[in-house]
Structure 1
Amino acid sequence: MFFMVQMYVNRPESLDDQQWNELRSREMEYGQSLMKKGTFRHIWRVVGDVSNVSIFEVDSNEELHELLSNLPLFPYMDVKVTALANHPSGLPEMYDYAQRG
């Protein structure tokens, strides 16, 4: 199952720079570990915004919820999740990467 996840990050005023940078560092480590496993497929920064658009490949809604809620910055995010499906106009090779892992 593929999901597009848009994450909007809201830095709370209660965290100083050191605390915020520590959270961001932990976020990067956790995210990259999911990327290496192949679960976190893509990430793009949204130009002009403090947000990103990411693609996750998971087996269930519950798995995605677990992964997202374990993000260190999750308590400071607004998250929008959209389930994705292959498009009938898409070329077959566009979807091959899902089988290649």
Structure 2
Amino acid sequence: MALFAVLATQAPAAGEAKEFRERLGEGFAYTRALVEKGTILHSWIRVGASGGLNIYDVDSHEELLSVLYDNPVSPHLKFEVIPLARPDAFDQLSIWNRGADQS
């Protein structure tokens, strides 16, 4: 599995704000379904800003793109995708020691 933090910001094009508001409920329902399925591990709404932050657990970059763009409100969102690694996914000490050996 691959983990990604995705910051979604509202970005409706000129003249699309009404459509965005009308479809927002569908977008929240879509996100809730992904949380229930386990595709989204954590979901937050940004306080004082538009959009939210979700942590996705998917099999590939392609699956992430599919999940993001299947959201009914995705045409009105801007995504910032940040790949993540679990802390236990690598041995930090060996990485630091390798760097020290090269000094």
Which bracket does the TM-score occupy, shorter chain normalised?
A: 0.7 to 0.9
Structure 2 portions without partners, runs of 5+: 89-103
Q: What is the aligned length?
A: 87
Which residue of structure 2 aligns with residue 71 of structure 1? 71
- Percent identity over the alignment? 29
Paired amino acid for 1:69: Y
Residues 5 and 83 in structure 2, CA contact (< 8 A), matched pair in contact too? yes
Name the structure where helix makes up a greater proportion of residues.
2
Distance 1:36 1:22 in 2: 23
TM-score using structure 2 length: 0.74
SS in 2 for 1:4: strand
CA distance in 2, matches of 1:61, 1:20: 26
Runs of 4+ in 1 over 6 A off after TM superposition: none
Q: CA RMSD in A?
A: 1.6
Unaligned runs of 5+ in 1: 89-101
Give the corresponding residue for 1:96: none
2:62 corresponding residue in structure 1: 62
Give, in whole Å, the separation in 1 of the partners of 2:82 and 2:48.
Answer: 22
